[in-house]
Structure 1
Amino acid sequence: MAVKSSRIVQPGNRPERAILVGVDLQVRSRTKRAGVEGARAAVRPEVGLELPPSEPLRTTAAAGVSATALNADESLAEFRELVLSAGAEVAGELLQRRLRPDPATLVGAGKIEEIAGVAESTEADLILFDHDLSPTQLRNLDAAMPCRVLDRTQLILDIFARHARTREGQLQVELAQLEYMLPRLTGRGKSMSQTGGGIGTRGPGETQLETDRRRIQRRIDQLKRDLDAVRRVRRQQRQRRETVPVPTAALVGYTNAGKSTLFNRITGGQVLESSKMFATLDPKLRAIELPSRRKVLLSDTVGFIRNLPHTLVTSFRATLEEVEQAEVLLHVRDAASSYGEEQRVQVERVLGELGALNKPRIEVLNKVDLLNGDEPQVVREGAVPAGTVGVSAKTGEGIDDLLRAIDEALRSDPLIDASLRVPQHEGAVLAAIDAGMVVHSREYEGNLVHLSVTGPASLVGRLREYRLRDDRSPGAPAAGVPNQS
């Protein structure tokens, strides 16, 4: 039972009208805290009571989010971009600040009435919460609202369902949707009664709810088998690539950081470029040539986002294997973003889940062309941190510096210097040198060509019979017997 998009767009291509609801769980009244602290200071010296330590401020870290999390307005702005990427029209926005979530409805009873009133007055088609809802919260809110209720994870899954183009991507999205849906199946009335074991407890037999759960579980098992087959095919393809050692560099980063635009700029490819979030779901691989003449495979991957549903990370593990297998990661960041540090933390969190956090990584600050005196400048003239490259995928600024940085970061096939002596009639050898190495000098002596080169150790090793005995290049392997031709 394939699960399709939850239809953010109405039939006839009319976008649905959505009410956005944000919940800020990290704010505490300053006046209340000041009053409490003042009372504590007044009581302690006079009475000598040993009061318990003051309650710490609720931070996003306490709610399972990074301590550098976005504030409520920034979070709602990002959520608005998600909604627009899903094709909906924003009819209104509401925000509630609370010390802790209501276990039954997330927001308070008064806010529920306000949301329902706004939804009716704006003729909204759905209400979207910038928060994950438990099955109980989702059920209670759905009963209290005049239209459908979706949470953040459902919205992201809908966007993924829209953008999945390959069979593999569709399988991964469907698996994530079903795993999210399974604990949220609900039902009412006699059709949901269960078979009992005593007098008066015997229902009409197996319930529709149980039937649906069993069907969904069967489908989940089948999807996992299909994705295992995809993983085997990828492993075989990777093994074939490894017969000719070509290292891989993977683009990773927050969604809408410009990874696909940068991929196209470097490779000359035609991957879809879009300002919408999660425009790229299916990985793309292209071969590029570095300044050292070495070849490397560049991979474009799905973007990450704050609170990325764990089911998506699990389901897309087959796709994200390219990240796990890459020798170098290019962490693409939006240099013009006002919350770039939070984006960096969220990307590193997902990389940690994938076991790829300790890989060599180049920080690529993209969109430097958008920086000006009024915007938060992460990149300034002469102030780029070590290991960081500022680029503009749109204009091409800094691309040469990025390629050189990739060259320096590769360790599996390091560059070495060598002196070669090759007979002129060895045309294939000379062509391989010109194609795969940087030639610093070339001199002719009779029928021999003397070359000073820098190239990958693998290629230099294959030409060891042409190396000179007095070659003392740093890191070079022992020189072989020179050709006496």
Structure 2
Amino acid sequence: MTELTHTDMAAELDGEELSIGELELEDRASLRRVAGLSTELEDITEVEYRQLRLERVVLVGVWTEGTAAQSEASLAELARLAETAGSEVLEGIVQRRSRPDPATYIGSGKVRELFDIVRATGADTVICDGELSPGQLRQLEAKLKVKVVDRTALILDIFAQHASSKEGKAQVELAQLQYLIPRLRGWGESLSRQAGGRAGGGNGGVGLRGPGETKLETDRRRINKRVAKLRREIASMDTIRETKRGRRVANEVPSVAIVGYTNAGKSSLLNAITGAGVLVEDALFATLDPTTRRADTPDGRTYTLTDTVGFVRHLPHQLVDAFRSTLEEAADADLLLHVVDGSDPAPEEQVNAVRDVLGEITSKRSEPLPPELLVINKADAADEVTLARLRHLLPGALVVSAQTGEGIEALVAEIAQRVPRPDVVVDAVVPYTRGELVARAHADGEVLTEEHTEEGTHLRARVHPDLAAALETFAVNGSPA
């Protein structure tokens, strides 16, 4: 890894208030190139919702905390996000600062160096590893003369590409519009500002004021109207989801939700357990729409298994808000299967990121999160030393490979131990004319013993309260039912 240094050290401090001793002078004065990441702004005169056209990009990160390895890992993840969006990564650089520059993210001196890099590589887009303020976005585009995109807009673009269901598309559009509203602005001098007060100066007063602010306000009203409509649509879709969920709750079918970092192998795990055949792709955010499948424990009890959208570090708040109804499917489950990528160099950071998002989802709820079972996936792609470290780091976790089937049987057995069991034990002789009650005991309960007698089927079983009430008439010797 090489470093770019600027000759004028004083200019590169960019107004930082911290002393040189708090940050190493060499780090403060350099842009670090991150090795191994490589894989025209038009004249815009209208306020518009611009689709990302990511082609040849340069990545820029600001290292404010943690180690150099962590900052480079974050930029490497940004590179994967950019490639998932369909771009070619030409270069990745990291700036060491105590905090991002409020005006230009990396400081005016570094912007000049970045301008040279963009010109040398022929890039047409710069992607910043953070969420830029409207002012930072405007300043960088003006100075670099190419399109500038932040991490949030990049993730939103990937979600827009992958959304397939009506609900998923509505949720993504809502998140995009929430991101866009504070960033509405006019490009070019054709959108002049309104004159204020007595219209002094050369603006001309009533009848001669520029249309700029009016255009912005019109677009803002139009977007707010669209946001309100999308919220109503998502709420109606949530009603349908709640109806289906309520039916499962009424039937007292236990539910298990698969959560985890994006590309940790959640869909592969769902396929390995249930044979669902859902889309599996080695890409970030391949799954946006939750998939629920039925599964059975080894002792015959039925439960549902739901695959959910993956999480990522610094998941945009707009997405968490828009996908809240979908993500709450996991928060309402009886058990969370938290899938961790065993081949990732920093799996503990993935675990923390997922738990942060889950905490944000449930922050406004009175109910706590359901119990969690950690599952280390991709054991076939990780070496023994890494797996040993993970077993020590995540005690109680199960190691599996959805690809090869290793550990899946043990995982299914552990799920059977953890999902709620029917809580009423009945002892009844069910007449052969009421065979449907015996069938329900097998389907929805846990049959302990079964014996066929002259009077009927002698059944001892764990069942749910509604079935226990139906069996009460046939209870043996007044046993509870």
* Bin of the TM-score, shorter chain as denominator length: 0.7 to 0.9
Q: Which residue identity does 1:133 align to in structure 2?
A: L
Q: 1:422 to 1:109 in 2, by over 3 A?
A: same
- Corresponding residue for residue 386 of structure 2: 375
- Shift, 1:315, TM fit: 0.8
Counterparts in 2 of 1:357 and 1:435: CA distance versus 1, 3 Å: closer
* Corresponding residue to 1:402 among 411, 428, 431: 411
Q: Residue 192 and residue 242 in structure 1: after superposition, are their counterparts in 2 closer, same or farther (change >3 A)?
A: farther
> How many angstroms does 1:421 deviate by?
3.2
Give the structure 1 partner of residue 238 of structure 2: 231
Distance across 2 between alignment mates of 1:424 and 1:96: 77
Deviation at 1:376, TM superposition (A): 5.2
**Aligned partners of 1:82 and 1:306: how far apart in 2?**
12
Partner in structure 1 of residue 306 of structure 2: 299
Match for residue 374 of structure 2?
363
Q: Deviations over 1:365-384 (max 9, x none)?
A: 2122223235354455x997
Shift of 1:310: 0.4
Matches within 5 A, 1:15-414: 16-26=55-65, 71-187=70-186, 188-189=188-189, 191-200=191-200, 202=205, 203-204=209-210, 207-355=214-362, 358-373=369-384, 375=386, 377-379=388-390, 385-386=395-396, 388-411=397-420, 413-414=421-422
Counterparts of 2:414 and 2:199 in 1: how far apart (Å)?
Answer: 76
Cα distance change, pair 446–166 in 1 and its aligned pair in 2 (3 A): closer
Query: Quick one: structure 1 residues 167 and 195, their matched pair in 2 at CA, closer, same or farther if it must change by over 3 Å?
Result: farther
> Are the equivalent residues in 2 in contact too, given 1:85–1:277 (CA < 8 A)?
yes
Q: Give the letter for the 2:410 counterpart.
A: D
1:16-49 deviation per Cα after TM superposition (whole angstroms, max 9, x unaligned): 11111121112xxxxxxxxxxxxxxxxxxxxxxx
CA root-mean-square deviation: 2.8
Counterpart-to-counterpart distance in 1, 2:259 and 2:48: 29
| Gap regions ≥5 residues in structure 1 | 9-15, 27-58, 61-68, 471-477, 481-485
What is the CA-CA distance between 1:236 and the residue it aligns to? 2.9
C-alpha distance in 2 between matches for 1:377 and 1:77 = 25
Q: What's the counterpart of residue 421 of structure 1?
A: 429
**Offset from partner CA, 1:281-325 (integer Å, 9 cap, x none):** 111111211223222121111111100110110011122231232
CA contact (8 A) 2:100 2:106 kept: yes
Identity of aligned residues (%): 43
State the 1:137 CA deviation. 0.8
Higher alpha-carbon deviation: 71-80 or 309-318: 71-80
What amino acid maps onto 1:367 in structure 2? K
User: What CA distance in whole angstroms lies between the structure 1 residues aligned with 2:243 and 2:118?
Assistant: 52
5+ residue gaps, structure 2, are: 1-46
**Matched letter for residue 174 of structure 1:** E
Distance change (3 Å), C-alpha of 1:192 and 1:170: farther
**How far apart, in 2, do the equivalents of 1:177 and 1:365 lie?**
33
Contact kept, 8 Å, 1:192 with 1:207, in 2: the verdict is no
**TM norm structure 1:** 0.79
> Aligned in 2, Cα 1:238/1:464: closer, same or farther, shift over 3 Å?
same
Q: CA deviation at 1:351?
A: 0.8
CA deviations 1:68-120 (Å, max 9, x no partner) are x9711211111111111111111111111112221111113332122222222
Tell me how far apart the structure 2 counterparts of residues 457 and 269 of structure 1 sit (CA, whole Å): 31
Match of 1:29 in 2: none
TM-aligned CA distance change 1:2 to 1:393, over 3 Å:
farther
Whole-angstrom distance in 1 between the partners of 2:422 and 2:434: 25
Equivalent residue number for residue 7 of structure 2: none
The code of the aligned residue for 1:114 comes to: E
| Residues 396 and 457 of structure 1, relative CA distance in 2, 3 Å threshold | farther
Once residues 326 and 412 of structure 2 are traced to their aligned partners in structure 1, the CA distance between those partners, rounded to angstroms, is 24
Could you tell me how far apart the structure 1 residues matched to 2:457 and 2:218 are? Answer: 78
Deviations 1:379-406 (A, max 9, x none): 55x99723x3222211222223323333
Task: Mark the CA change 1:432 to 1:227 in structure 2 (over 3 Å): closer, same or farther.
Answer: closer
